[in-house]
Amino acid sequence: MTLNFSHDPPILEVKGLTKHFGALTAVNGVSLRVNSGIQSVIGPNGAGKTTFFNLLSGFLVPDTGQIFFQGKDITGSPSYEISQMGIGRSFQITSIFPGLTVHENMRVACQSRSKSRYNFMISYKGLQGIDVEAERIIREVGLGEWAHSPARNLPYGLQRCLDIGISMATAPQLLLLDEPTSGMSTEDTETILKLIENISKVMPVILIEHNVDMVLAISTRIAVLYQGVLLAEGTPSQIQANKEVQEAYLGGY
């Protein structure tokens, strides 16, 4: 089955993606097309969701299949090249520098995409443009009042906002978010939900998420993985009504 999230030329297209770990087939022949909105990938634990993300972002190499980003075959490209091409990613575990301030965390991420990223002797004045960009993203993710606080002092939900902001600072054109609301309170979840919706107005987002209520509320399309296979794909209402999905994953929804 092929996921077709848009009739426009896709920003991302995957054909027959498969990954084995010994006798286990973690991802089995998955194909998709993604262009706009929020495309959620759901499924029970062990369905192959994170392996799928690791293949898209270059942390794993597929055994078979191809990955195209903006029409270019990126299959097997290393993660740093894929990031530089424009695919950003956050992980299940928050990846920040806890001893640096929020601003310093964001500035490091912004500088990674600047011409001065390898210039360790650059003066502070040379970083002023990077500082402006860092401040802009900090405001966008709602951390303005925390800009000069050590990242470790942020509540957990705001640390996740910072983590997503760091991904945005690498100037992506497509953003992969792996369980961004894991372990969050209801209030923090609502904050992240609003942030993801705002980001999706600027760039496509592919979201792995176990919070089914959240997925149904914000997704443009939903793909369901089950034992590495694409079980179903469609709008939130179509997925909610799908009997196979009900039996395999959604239960009482």
Residue 141 and residue 168 in contact, taking contact as beta carbons nearer than 8 Å: yes
Topology adopted by domain 1-86+172-253: Rossmann fold (3.40.50)
3-state secondary structure (DSSP) of residue 49: helix
| Confidence check: pLDDT of 7 > 50 | no
Q: What are the boundaries of each domain within the chain?
A: 1-86+172-253, 93-169
Distance CA 44, CA 47 (A): 6
Which pLDDT belongs to residue 197? 95
Q: How do residues 187-239 score in pLDDT, each as one tens digit?
A: 888 899 999 999 999 999 999 998 888 899 999 999 999 999 999 998 999 99
Q: How do residues 135-157 score in pLDDT, each as one tens digit?
A: 999 999 999 999 999 999 999 99
- Whole-model pTM: value is 0.86
Residue 232 and residue 239 in contact, taking contact as beta carbons nearer than 8 Å: yes
Q: Side chain identity at 189, as an amino acid letter?
A: T
Tokens (6 digits) for 132: 């402006």
DSSP string for residues in 166-213 = HHHHT--SEEEEESTTTT--HHHHHHHHHHHHHHHTTS-EEEE-S-HH
Tokens (6 digits) for 113: 């995409």
